[in-house]
Amino acid sequence: MRKTRTETIVWQTNIEGRQQTFDIPAVSQVNIKNEGSVDELPILILGGMGERLGTSRRLVKYLGKKGVANSLSLRLPFEALPPSEANLTRISTELPIAAAEFLANKTERTEINMIARSQTAAPALMARTEEPGLFAKIALIEPFGLTNQVLAASPEERVEEFGRRSVQNLKANWLTNKSLLSMYELLVSVCAKEARTTEAREDLRTSLLAAMSIDLSAGFREQVEAGAQLRVFASKDDPVFPYDELAAVIGRGSIAEIKGAHASSVSRNGFRQLDVALNWMREPVLTK
């Protein structure tokens, strides 16, 4: 039986001419020889807002049960640097690339697949724009960053609209949502489980503003037209990022329906959504 392992992704970045190094925690499960598993590319999972190392551990364990030999999961620490457009770009682009290169090197591969949920969808696309040869397939589950301009003009206004839709969803589905513990529901309820201090709440607000600051709908379409293997998975039950709204922005050929709305990664619906994305990754690539 393979065991999960806590890893350290060494992320080096240049800030105002000065080289800085950050140690970013991640969780892996690696079996280079693919013993007892499907022979497929390693999978990098970028976790959603408010998720922690325990979530990453459960995700890689789940992938192992599904026959994935090699995987790595982490969250992007948007709170690690002062909020600014430059720092947002650094974290969103450089860190997924560093994690992907770490996983590729560890598994002796030249490319990997990636699954990005919620706020990490836009960073996944930004990373692929910088290093297209590193990523074979990318699955985006309930993504931020593709309909941000639809929500409102500025990130602050988008946060307001995001909150309004979230409250509306809570009122309509409070019994179901209470058990699912969606990330945006945690935010709406002042993050009672995660953010017991003002500092922690501010970190989550920083993450939310970061997620709402990026809009890559045009970039998504350009990459698909150029042959990139990208797929969005969205629910028709999600009032925050509605399926039809996403489909209108990116095109219906790039989106697939999932059940369970904007579920937490490690909820029952979150795992079901992960299954759908994994099945798509295992489909052969059709060449024109």
Where does the pLDDT of residue 26 fall: very low under 50, low under 70, confident under 90, or very high at 90 and above? very high
Phi and psi at residue 42, in whole multiples of 5°?
Answer: -60, 155
Give the pLDDT confidence score for residue 206 in this predicted structure: 73
% pLDDT > 70, the chain: 81
Question: In this structure, are residues 112 and 44 in contact, taking their beta carbons and an 8 Å threshold?
Answer: yes
**What local confidence, expressed as pLDDT, does residue 52 receive?**
80
Domain boundaries, the chain: 5-148+215-281
What is d(CA 16, CA 4) in angstroms, rounded to the nearest whole number?
37
Q: Which residues contact 222 (CB under 8 A, 6 or more apart)?
A: none
DSSP letter string, 127-154: HHHH-GGGEEEEEEES-SSSSHHHH-SS
Give 134's contacts (C-beta < 8 A, 6+ positions apart).
Answer: 97, 100, 101, 104, 110, 111, 112, 127, 128
Choice among 168-172, 192-196, 206-210, 266-270 with the minimum mean pLDDT: 192-196
pLDDT of residue 158: 84
Cα angle 63-47-57, degrees, rounded to a multiple of 5? 45
Q: What is the mean pLDDT of residues 31-57?
A: 77
Given a cut of 80, whether residue 132 has pLDDT beyond it is yes
Q: Report which DSSP code applies to 178.
A: H
Model confidence pLDDT, tens digit, residues 91-121: 989 999 999 999 999 999 999 999 999 888 8
Nearest to 74 by CA among 22, 125, 25: 25
32-43 tens-digit pLDDT: 665 545 568 999
Token pair, residue 12, equals: 């080096």
pLDDT of 81 higher than 90: no
What average pLDDT does the chain have? 82
**Higher per-residue pLDDT: 95 or 52:** 95
197-221: pLDDT as tens digits: 555 556 667 777 777 887 888 888 8
Average pLDDT over residues 115-129: 90
- E strands, the chain, are 5-15, 18-29, 43-46, 71-74, 112-117, 135-141, 229-235, 255-258
Structure tokens at 37: 């598993």
Q: What average pLDDT score do residues 256-276 get?
A: 87
Among 10-14, 69-73, 172-176, 230-234, name the one with the lowest average pLDDT.
172-176
User: Has residue 226 got a pLDDT over 70?
Assistant: yes
Question: Does residue 65 register a pLDDT over 60?
Answer: yes
Compute the 3-state secondary structure of the chain and give helix, strand, coil in percent, each to the nearest 5: 50, 20, 30
What CATH code would you report for 5-148+215-281?
3.40.50.1820
Residue 105 has a pLDDT of 94
